[in-house]
Amino acid sequence: MNKGMILYKSKYGSAKKYAEWLQGMTGFECRALPKGDGEDLSRYETIILCGGIYASGIAGLPFFKKNIGKWKGKKTAIFCVGASPYEERACGELKARNLTGDLREIPLFYGRGAWDEGKMKFVDKTLCGLLKKSIAQKDPNSYEPWMKALMDAAGQSCDWTDQKYLTPLLEYLKL
């Protein structure tokens, strides 16, 4: 079987859940993203990052950017996890904003995560509260899909994680 490494950075557990599911489906090694340089990953044929989306950034991406030059010729992919439903345009914008330079050609995959304000850290809860207040001032008929999802989930505990979101990544890996 193809030797691979799944690195994940998960604040609330959804990216970790997807990484562990992916590990079970591929047989790849899986571990939380190391801080700093971490170990040498050059012995792996495939390197995948699973990271949550926070404030339009992908957790773990700085490590990936720092090391991508060492992984020439490796199969790489990024699987990001967010609370919003999948939307092609939003994923395109996320990719354009985050995958620049040497990361531009890396495929980006998306899985829907979870939402639980009760588990959020103070800063995240505060930022989400401010965002909800801002959105609430708009006409609900003008909401983008992510706005509607945020307003619908407010005050609830939701878990939208599903292994089906890994299918496009598995097809890319050809496993």
Q: Is the pTM of this model over 0.85?
A: no
Place of tokens 């990271």: 51
Q: Give the C-alpha separation, 89 to 101, whole Å.
A: 20
Contact 142, 112 (CB under 8 A): no
Question: How would you write the pLDDT of the chain (175 residues) with one tens digit per residue?
Answer: 359 999 999 888 899 999 999 999 999 999 998 764 566 788 899 999 999 988 788 999 999 898 888 888 899 999 999 888 788 888 899 999 999 998 999 999 999 998 777 787 777 777 767 777 887 888 888 877 767 777 777 777 778 899 999 999 999 998 6
Phi, psi of 113 (to 5 degrees): -100, -130
Sign, CA torsion 25/28/32/36: negative
Task: Give the list of residues 6+ apart from residue 3 with CB closer than 8 angstroms, or none.
Answer: 28, 43, 44, 45, 46
